[in-house]
């Protein structure tokens, strides 16, 4: 009998983790973190009991709990794709740097995790301890996977975060999965419809063009991994004539992604975009280059995407009081985040003296989501090839999204669906 235990990411976004076991075989799907002071982690698992761990992609809500499982003598194998482990290393080390007084692990646990990682490409079957495992492109970010797990005659699909729309950076998700018994699916945007992607690109470019042609500077606070590179590709596609600077994690992640051409939609286009982009130096020259970036019209792409820290905050403090400039947010803004407060109220709070600073620069927000929206999620579920008595589990979404998505599947498709709570076992 196969047992699934939902350890995190239930009726919320953050801390994703699912345990799957059968006859002394134990697999862990993701082990993420919920940001906070202190951060929160999924329910405890015993590393010595795990046959292996699968990491769907590098983002903190899926990866940043993993070092906790490498603090003792037990060292389970971590299975993922090459770009995912390289990017996860970057994100986890950065998380240690910014949260070192609140995290229950240090760099040595991350190093131990990396030593015990085994990487695979897409569409290849792996057999581990009698368990079959196949990774498919999830279309979310470079290296992200949808996982097909076969254990004791049951076929289990775990979508992780996925996207059915092509972006400039990656191809859309694989969708052909026959004879499924169980599906664990994200529900992030189960209640929301994304605007047309091409129109969003055009609107964004036109607004950027208007600012820079009027001698302004556009700051684009963006997630360092994937979103920053996507914005660089969009601006390159529309042939912007002004400098594009990348700073902070956006710079480092861009180079890591460059080293994994097989996981990109168009590697040659990516290389040409990177040549157009100006990467702020790592060391001595960076102050000089940052001042130069803010001295003439152009675009600066810098994390963090929600203005919770990073180099974007430094640029914002310098550019905010000039009405010729633009602050264009392109990442999701959670309630109460500095980015959300900026959009709603037109001000941010200075990091140094904690003063409220009104922003005179033009503010705007653009939906460049790399998740499936409600129409895509429904299309995905409708087209699933399910065996009799198959079940669907809706996770990784706010409570209303998970429960309403579940209700719709139950009522309209007459398929058993659940929105599990933390620590529930099926």
Residue 114 confidence (pLDDT) above 70: yes
Minimal CA–CA distance to 116: which of 59, 71, 151?
Answer: 71
Residue 163 confidence (pLDDT) above 70: yes
Residue 291 confidence (pLDDT) above 90: yes
> In terms of C-beta density within 10 A (0-12 exposed, 13-18 middle, 19 or more buried), how is residue 214 classed?
exposed
* Contact by Cβ (8 Å): 231, 220: yes
- Tens digit of pLDDT for each residue in 178-222? 999 999 999 999 999 999 999 999 999 999 999 999 999 999 999
Span(s) in the chain for CATH 3.40.50.10890? 197-365
- DSSP state string for 357-412: EE--SEEEE-----S-BHHHHHHHHHT--EEEEEEEEEESS-HHHHHHHHHHIIII
Span(s) in the chain for CATH 3.60.15.10? 3-192+370-418
Residue range 197-365, CATH number: 3.40.50.10890
Element housing 77 (H / E): strand 77-80
> In terms of C-beta density within 10 A (0-12 exposed, 13-18 middle, 19 or more buried), how is residue 26 classed?
buried
**Fold that domain 3-192+370-418 belongs to in CATH:** Metallo-beta-lactamase; Chain A (3.60.15)
* Cα–Cα distance for residue pair 69/85, rounded to 1 Å: 16
Give pLDDT, residue 124: 87
Over range 235-242, report the average pLDDT.
97
Q: Positive or negative CA dihedral for 264, 266, 268, 269?
A: negative
Q: How open is the CA angle 38-41-43, to the nearest 5 degrees?
A: 140
- DSSP state string for 225-287: TTHHHHHHHHHHHTT--S-EEE-THHHHHHHHHHT-GGGSS-HHHHHHHHHHEEEPPSSTTHH
* Cα–Cα distance for residue pair 305/307, rounded to 1 Å: 6
| Band of pLDDT at residue 284, cut at 50, 70 and 90 | low
- Tens digit of pLDDT for each residue in 309-336? 889 999 999 999 999 999 999 988 888 8
pTM: 0.96
* Cα–Cα distance for residue pair 266/170, rounded to 1 Å: 8
- Round the average pLDDT of the chain to a whole number and report it: 95
On the question of a cis peptide bond just before residue 146, with omega within 30 degrees of 0, the verdict is no
Determine phi and psi for 29, rounding to 5 degrees. -105, 110
């Amino acid at each position: 009998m196969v047992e699934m235990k939902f350890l995190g990411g239930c009726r919320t976004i953050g801390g994703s983790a699912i345990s799957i076991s059968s006859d002394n075989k134990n697999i862990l799907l993701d082990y993420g973190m919920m940001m906070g002071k202190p951060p929160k982690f999924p329910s405890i698992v015993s590393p010595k009991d795990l046959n292996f761990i699968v990491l769907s992609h590098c983002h903190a809500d899926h990866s940043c709990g993993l070092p906790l499982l490498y603090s003792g003598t037990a060292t389970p194998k971590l299975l993922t794709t090459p770009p995912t482990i390289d990017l996860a290393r970057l994100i986890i080390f950065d998380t240690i740097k910014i949260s070192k007084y609140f995290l229950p692990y240090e760099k040595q646990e991350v190093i131990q995790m990396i030593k015990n990682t085994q990487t695979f490409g897409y569409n290849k079957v792996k057999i581990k301890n009698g368990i079959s495992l196949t990774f498919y492109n999830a279309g979310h970010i470079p290296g992200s996977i949808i996982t097909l797990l076969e254990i004791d005659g049951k076929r289990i699909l775990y979508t992780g975060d996925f996207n059915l729309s092509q972006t400039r950076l990656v191809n859309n998700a694989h969708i052909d999965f026959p004879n499924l018994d169980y599906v664990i699916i994200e529900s992030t945007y189960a209640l929301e419809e994304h605007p047309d992607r091409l129109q969003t690109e055009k609107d964004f470019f036109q607004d950027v063009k208007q600012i820079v042609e009027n001698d302004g500077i556009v700051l684009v606070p963006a997630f360092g991994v994937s979103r920053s590179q996507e914005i660089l590709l969009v601006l390159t596609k529309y042939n912007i004539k002004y400098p594009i600077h990348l700073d902070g994690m956006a710079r480092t992640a861009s180079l890591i992604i460059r080293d994994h051409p097989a996981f990109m939609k168009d590697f040659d286009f990516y290389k040409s975009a990177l040549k157009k982009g100006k990467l702020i130096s790592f060391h001595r020259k960076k102050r000089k280059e940052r001042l130069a970036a803010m001295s003439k019209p152009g675009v600066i792409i810098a994390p963090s995407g929600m203005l919770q820290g990073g180099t974007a905050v430094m640029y914002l403090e310098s550019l905010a009081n000039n009405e010729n400039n633009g602050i264009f947010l392109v990442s999701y803004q959670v309630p109460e985040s500095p980015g959300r407060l900026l959009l709603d109220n037109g001000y941010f709070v200075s990091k140094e003296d904690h003063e409220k600073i009104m922003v005179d620069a033009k503010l705007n927000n653009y939906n460049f989501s790399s998740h499936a929206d409600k129409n895509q999620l429904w299309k995905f579920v409708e087209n699933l090839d399910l065996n009799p008595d198959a079940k669907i589990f809706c996770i990784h979404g706010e409570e209303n999204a998970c429960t309403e998505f579940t209700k719709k599947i139950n009522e309209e498709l007459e398929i058993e669906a659940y929105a599990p709570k933390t620590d529930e076992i099926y």
